[in-house]
Structure 1
Amino acid sequence: MARLCRAFLCLVLVFCAAGYGAAWKEAEFRKCHQSKFCKDVRERAAAWARGEGGSNLEVKGLRVTDEGRVAARLIPGGNEQQALVLELSAYRDGIVRTKVAEENALRKRFELPDVVVADFEAKRLKIDRIAEKDGASVVELSGYDVIIQHKPFLIQVQRGGDLVLSINSKNLFEIEHLRVKKEGDDWEDSFRSHTDNRPYGPQTVSFDVSFHGSDHVYGIPERATSFALKPTKGPSINNHEPYRLFNLDVFEYLDESPFGLYGSIPVMVSHSKKGTTGFFLLNAAEMQIDVLAPGWEHMGIEQVVDASSSDKVLTSQNEEKRVDSHWIVESGVFDAFVFVGPSPKDVVTQYCAVTGTSAIPQLFSTAYHQCRWNYKDEADVAGVDAGFDEYDIPYDTIWLDIEHTDGKKYFTWDKNLFPNPKEMQNKIAAKGRHMVTIVDPHMKRDDGYSLHKEATSHGYYVKDRDGKDFDGWCWPGASSYLDMLNSEVRSWWANKFSYSNYVGSTPILYIWNDMNEPSVFNGPEATMPKDAIHYGGVEHRDLHNAYGYYFHMGSVQGLLKREGGKDRPFVLSRAIFAGTQKVGAIWTGDNTADWKHVRISVPMLLALGVTGIANAGADVGGFFGNPDPEMLTRWYQLGTYYPFFRGHGHLDTKRREPWLFGEPYTSLMREAISARYQILPYVYTLFKEASVTGVPLVRPLWMEFPEDEATFARDDEFLLGPSLLVHGVYSEGAKSEMVYFPGNETWYDVKSGTTFPGGKEMEIPVSLQSGIPVYQRAGTIIPKKLRHRRSSTQMLNDPYTLVVALDSNYEAEGELYIDDGKTYEFEKGAFIHRRFKFVKGKLTSTNLAPSKSNPKKFTSPCLVERIVIMGVRARDLVTGKGAVVEGERWIQTDIGAPSLIPGAHSSALILRLPNVRIADDWSIKLG
């Protein structure tokens, strides 16, 4: 019988794995009309548009509380029994928070813990007065006003006198009150073979948000769509599916689909020449969001308020542009934040002030990673490691997937395949390299597995609706899932990463959290049932989109605890939620070796960036399928500029280590990976900026050029930081690409030094040998390290090259941030932060680190070995003696005539061996 059971288990797992590796099947996932909450709200909205009722909320009793907040009651259609309460708060730097809840609720709705940063409330401004105007209350703040119209209820935000955002301008705001089930009520919601009991009944939160003065909205990742969100509802829209936010394990996903993927960040951003505005809903339940095209109101939905009533508190200026959106949320609370801007970077910074800025990663994790499902044994790992050395290709980290474990039991090793894990890691560490192993949230239900026994005895698993430990299927077979909402469980989990518990782990071993949506092979839509129960009696429906975030958080705590809080952790996660950026890195999931997936990776990363996720990447080469050498080469050339740079492939794909395709492909992939190592100083500096401001590494063109309308819908190219313009090659055999050069500035080709004028789109010839189009912005200085090494660790003391791209004023500037790349000593002031400026023929390095609050000193022996100056005027291109000023001491140095750095710049003034320290103040003057 035991043998029969094992055979059945194997058969089931083969079936599950086969389904996991098959093409995406649309019928396996819900659409709006197949979810009662979405269908019901849409039907009500359509009825309201026909004049058959409406929410008709009226504001009563509005006042300022003793704490300096605005409070009021919202009465729907005069029904006092269904009253809601409103609370509005303002915070420093242009943030408004609005919460609405039932006045008398049968059951307290779930509010997400550990997403909003701990010190956020300390930034709250005390509102001390409200002005009254035309039947509305006006809260006047620095640079903007919040207007609350009383009847019908409407919130408007004006910036500098211009209306930028409104909530409930279409009278669609509704919170379904929890109620006692009556005879005949049908609350169950079935899909395929699964039934959701919905024991507390309908509890939907729905509302409309309008972005005024804008043609485009962005954000609400994660999905494989264009960056500027296309309308989902309107007269000319064929696919009327809304954008869905519901974390799911979606393999081989489609491009240009509104369907949600592995993560959910309920943030929408609008941008126009007049400024940028953002909206964030702090809620982790399933959401369906429509972006409404002009004329949508004539389709029988979402038109209930005549313009005269809703516009009477607007400014006299005629409004020409707006984007309307309709949000339908299954459960939870209305806890919304408005980010007033006005600039694109302001909005990201304001959002990150609420949910946290990006964690600054260890230096090694910003370099190249090599992964596969699976490197099969220690000999395979050694062979891949040796292959990189043999073909002189740098890499920093090799990854192990689920097959390295003992029967898919995490924190274990297969004793036959990986009998000496410490020795294996030590050999890698000797070259300055690292390893990552996978740890998923499903725990094998095996009484011989100590972790499972302990979790069971403590009651640490998510429960099913009957109160038993939830039992689902994933890679190990029968599995239970840790209840990471409970901070006690996260703390317990963190202990499992210690060297004594994770036997065979070493300090160079880091972690990968996959399948944490959570993925449940036999669950509804391959995930956990919504009526499963978490700590405190919370239904899974209320926190589904945040489950992976809490699991990610627990794993990060584990690595922190393992090192006594000294070293920074590295944990990659597939599932994401608002706030993930402060925890760790993510990737875009199980993509495909398809040119469309090369292309769609760019808008996916852009959407993640504007919603706070700075450290993200896509699997280079595609997880599924077999890329041909040209596609793989093009993907490496693009992946060079991803914040997270990893090659990865499925178990059933052909091996694709960069040297397996022969020449010229091996050399071209080596060149692409090496180019990443050359710009690591620049990339690491950008990560530091993201950790302070939240501004992402990968940026839409309009983030740096906010008034250039040609950039607003552009997503085939991006900026890496402020200085590098990157345009991929997205089709087989491409001979040219149409590149748009934003702004009014000159752009320098990073290889040839050829210049291109801003504000124009130009056809650029491309070849495999030329790589993809990449340009440095005039007026910038980029620090690089050009010596070829095996890993980033071996580059630590290498000298720097500064690449100066002069603008029309003959000026440029840039920054460099350096710390030990590993620990938290930078928080004590142990770092170097330099500003480089070229003005009036003189290049100067000055200190940006605060000197008085810098108790810890960090030093670097690194020198500047080369300065490349592009755009030098003809009269300065002379051979002779120049001068370096260090303090008051003058030092002679050779200035070369125009020359070529191999593979880099063809027309530049090159200063060789100026012999100045990167950490010092110094100046170099031409002439």
Structure 2
Amino acid sequence: LDVTLSPNPALTFRTIGGILDFYLFLGPTPENVVQQYTEAIGRPHMPAYWSLGFQLSRWGYGSLDVLKETVDRMEHYDIPYDVQHFDIDYMERRLDFTYDKVNFAGLPEFMKDLKKKGKHNVVILDPFITKDEEPGTYRPYELGQEMGVWVNNSDGLTPAVGQAWPPGDSVFPDYTNPRTVEWWTQLCLEFKDVLDYDGIWIDMNEPSNFMRGQYPGCADNEINNPPYTPSISDRSLAQKTLCPDSKTYLGDHYNTHSLFGWSQTEPTFNVVQQATGKRAFVLSRSTFVGSGKHGGHWLGDNFSQWKDLRRSVVGILEFNLFGIPYIGADICGFNYNTTYELCLRWMQLGSFYPFSRNHNSEGNSEQDPAVFGAAFAKISRATLRIRYSLLPYLYTLFYESHVHGGTVVRSLMHEFTSDQETHGIDTAFLWGPAFMIAPVLEEATRSVTVYFPEAQWFDYYTVLPSAWKKNYATVSAPLSKIPLYIRGGYILPQQAPATTTTESRLNPFGLIIALDEQGQASGSLFWDDGDSIDTIEKENYFLAKYTFSKVSGHI
């Protein structure tokens, strides 16, 4: 299927067959469209409060000692930081459900220590299992083999065998099969007793295979080589994945390929809740329609380049339209070495991603916000403290998204639809209706041209009203600052920041009251314990609606 958008405006669908069902969501506003869409596909999940804190990750710590040094320097500079991710280097030889008892000796105790400091841990798991360990030594494979949980070859009987991170050859769990869900649930529950995780990051779940199809290659038939293939890698549907004529529980891989990550997300969500007794954190690389109900997403393996910094804004906006508002990009870039200025600007922008995580690839230089020295750390700390102070507002937006199905981050066009000037703006964005972020997206730049739609806008730092309305203005953006604005007519709840949300949640609250031209403002605050399951459904929460009028002077 190829879908082409033309400037007419028009959508052109080209397909080689199948049944097309069209659902039209008529709005009339952009927010209404997203609300109607998520009513059909499933509302976004309610994230745990801690998952809105800053998160740190890298593939390539290599040892627990290096990770400890990283954590120590983050603490030295008092940089807000809630979550530590563990990529595949924590595993023994990249085998799921293991940890490296040499390079990461003491990992279970270290994770417990992080938890005592109010932090949370997220472990990565991949969707391929080696079949070539010594018999009797690797239970995930043997249990899976016994239960018959793998994606099969076209014969529907023999498991598809490919290559991925683990040594030897790998087989691929078929998450559309209820038996696979049982197998996965059992192993994730058992693994919780080994490593005390709070969330699971599911990667490579397209599914990724380091070959073109499985052994011995894909047969030359119409499913594997249809009469038309879109402009994809090598023009091959099997490139870096499995042959389309492989068999899953729901049918040919040709039809279920895009559902692989989606089908893994819900069982992972359910088992994390079962294992922790708390709200689930699931981060998936592969998503499909409805994935936001059980998980979040990041924008994949980006590059440490200015153009990737800029494109991330577009990706964040798009995934909010898709009903997956818990979305972020790898801050400072995943591939290549970052630079001081790029990483600093990315830390500033990333401080306002809904999912805020600095992540990095093996072999690249370290890029955590504490590694560049005191000046960089001070700026990162200050920006993250703004994020943390506004977390009650962000959390309230996630509550509204979970209940009503709208966006958390949105474009200026979303709020000011009748203003044609907003339709092309993808360099600034809003948290909800009221908080504008206008990041620096170009190298060696110390100012930003910002469009201010028809409203009263207040500079976040000075609290002074801006003179601009329905106009562009060039605003100052020294290295130490990301331009931020509050829209008049709104009340934003805030809370004194701290180094973790565990601490900040105990701090005093405040309200930012930004008046419109009539001297009025309104807003709301949603609050609960931050991580219990189904507090909204069980009505175990506090919800305040605030209004202010200059005439009465009362809130």
Q: TM-score, normalised by structure 2?
A: 0.91
1:747 aligns to what? 457
1:518 aligns to what? 207
Verify: 1:804 aligned to 2:513, yes or no.
Answer: yes
The structural deviation recorded for 1:813 is 1.1
CA pair 406-344 structure 1, distance change in 2 beyond 3 A: same
Given the alignment, which residue of 161, 172, 186 partners 1:471?
161
Distance in 1, Cα, partners of 2:5 & 2:199 = 40
Map 1:486-501 → 2, pairs under 5 A: 486-498=177-189, 500-501=190-191
Verify: 1:631 aligned to 2:361, yes or no.
Answer: no
Q: Deviations over 1:465-502 (max 9, x none)?
A: 2331010111114111101111332233122221x344
Distance in 2, Cα, partners of 1:812 & 1:497 = 48
Letter in 2 for 1:504: V
CA pair 834-630 structure 1, distance change in 2 beyond 3 A: same
Letter in 2 for 1:493: W
Given the alignment, which residue of 479, 482, 487 partners 1:772?
482
2:21 aligns to what? 335
Given the alignment, which residue of 258, 265, 269 partners 1:556?
269
Letter in 2 for 1:481: F
SS at match of 1:703: helix
Map 1:202-217 → 2, pairs under 5 A: none
CA pair 766-479 structure 1, distance change in 2 beyond 3 A: same
Q: Deviations over 1:134-181 (max 9, x none)?
A: xxxxxxxxxxxxxxxxxxxxxxxxxxxxxxxxxxxxxxxxxxxxxxxx
Verify: 1:384 aligned to 2:70, yes or no.
Answer: yes
2:227 aligns to what? none
Given the alignment, which residue of 528, 535, 544 partners 1:834?
544
Q: Is the 8 A contact 1:369 1:645 kept in 2?
A: yes
Given the alignment, which residue of 138, 143, 166 partners 1:449?
138
Distance in 2, Cα, partners of 1:796 & 1:502 = 26
2:148 aligns to what? 459
Distance in 1, Cα, partners of 2:183 & 2:406 = 34
Verify: 1:641 aligned to 2:318, yes or no.
Answer: no
CA pair 483-330 structure 1, distance change in 2 beyond 3 A: farther
Q: Is the 8 A contact 1:331 1:542 kept in 2?
A: no
Distance in 2, Cα, partners of 1:490 & 1:702 = 42
Letter in 2 for 1:692: V
SS at match of 2:121: strand
Distance in 1, Cα, partners of 2:16 & 2:120 = 43
Q: Is the 8 A contact 2:198 2:272 kept in 1?
A: no
1:781 aligns to what? 491
Q: Is the 8 A contact 2:153 2:245 kept in 1?
A: yes
Q: Is the 8 A contact 2:148 2:179 kept in 1?
A: no
The structural deviation recorded for 1:646 is 0.2
Map 1:148-163 → 2, pairs under 5 A: none
The structural deviation recorded for 1:843 is 6.0
Letter in 2 for 1:487: P
Given the alignment, which residue of 504, 520, 525 partners 2:194?
504
The structural deviation recorded for 1:670 is 1.4
Distance in 1, Cα, partners of 2:53 & 2:552 = 33
- Percent identity reads 32
Distance in 1, Cα, partners of 2:367 & 2:413 = 36
Distance in 1, Cα, partners of 2:208 & 2:552 = 58
CA pair 330-586 structure 1, distance change in 2 beyond 3 A: farther
The structural deviation recorded for 1:623 is 0.3
The structural deviation recorded for 1:755 is 2.2
CA pair 457-330 structure 1, distance change in 2 beyond 3 A: farther
Given the alignment, which residue of 257, 260, 263 partners 1:547?
260
The structural deviation recorded for 1:841 is 4.7
Q: Is the 8 A contact 2:147 2:183 kept in 1?
A: no
Letter in 2 for 1:471: V
Letter in 1 for 2:120: H
Q: Is the 8 A contact 2:159 2:171 kept in 1?
A: yes
Letter in 1 for 2:59: W
Q: Deviations over 1:503-553 (max 9, x none)?
A: 4122x53210010011111123211211111115x1111011111111122
Q: Deviations over 1:18-63 (max 9, x none)?
A: xxxxxxxxxxxxxxxxxxxxxxxxxxxxxxxxxxxxxxxxxxxxxx
1:484 aligns to what? 175
Map 1:869-880 → 2, pairs under 5 A: none
Verify: 1:399 aligned to 2:85, yes or no.
Answer: yes
Distance in 1, Cα, partners of 2:163 & 2:115 = 36
Map 1:614-693 → 2, pairs under 5 A: 614-693=325-404
Letter in 2 for 1:544: H
Q: Is the 8 A contact 1:496 1:558 kept in 2?
A: no
Distance in 2, Cα, partners of 1:717 & 1:337 = 30
Q: Is the 8 A contact 1:786 1:800 kept in 2?
A: yes
1:440 aligns to what? 126
The structural deviation recorded for 1:711 is 0.8
For the aligned residue pairs, the C-alpha RMSD in angstroms reads 1.6
Q: Is the 8 A contact 2:175 2:181 kept in 1?
A: yes
SS at match of 2:170: strand
Distance in 2, Cα, partners of 1:785 & 1:635 = 24
Distance in 1, Cα, partners of 2:18 & 2:40 = 19
Distance in 1, Cα, partners of 2:553 & 2:117 = 36
Map 1:173-212 → 2, pairs under 5 A: none
Which one has the largest radius of gyration? Answer: 1
CA pair 842-784 structure 1, distance change in 2 beyond 3 A: farther
Given the alignment, which residue of 720, 738, 754 partners 2:431?
720
Q: Is the 8 A contact 2:399 2:526 kept in 1?
A: yes
In terms of fraction of residues, the more helix-rich structure is: 2
Q: Is the 8 A contact 2:42 2:293 kept in 1?
A: yes
Distance in 2, Cα, partners of 1:712 & 1:575 = 29
SS at match of 1:797: coil
Distance in 2, Cα, partners of 1:396 & 1:404 = 19
Q: TM-score, normalised by structure 1?
A: 0.55
Distance in 1, Cα, partners of 2:13 & 2:162 = 31
Q: Deviations over 1:835-881 (max 9, x none)?
A: 1111135565xxxxxxxxxxxxxxxxxxxxxxxxxxxxxxxxxxxxx
Given the alignment, which residue of 819, 834, 841 partners 2:528?
819
Mark the runs of 5 or more structure 2 residues left unpaired by the alignment. Answer: 213-237
The structural deviation recorded for 1:402 is 0.6
The structural deviation recorded for 1:338 is 1.1
The structural deviation recorded for 1:384 is 2.0
1:326 aligns to what? 12
Q: Is the 8 A contact 2:143 2:183 kept in 1?
A: no
Map 1:560-571 → 2, pairs under 5 A: 560-563=273-276, 566-571=277-282
Q: Is the 8 A contact 1:367 1:677 kept in 2?
A: yes
1:32 aligns to what? none
The structural deviation recorded for 1:663 is 3.9
Distance in 2, Cα, partners of 1:786 & 1:568 = 24
The structural deviation recorded for 1:323 is 1.8
Distance in 2, Cα, partners of 1:745 & 1:559 = 44
The structural deviation recorded for 1:329 is 4.0
Verify: 1:348 aligned to 2:34, yes or no.
Answer: yes
The structural deviation recorded for 1:330 is 5.3
In terms of fraction of residues, the more strand-rich structure is: 1
Letter in 1 for 2:3: I
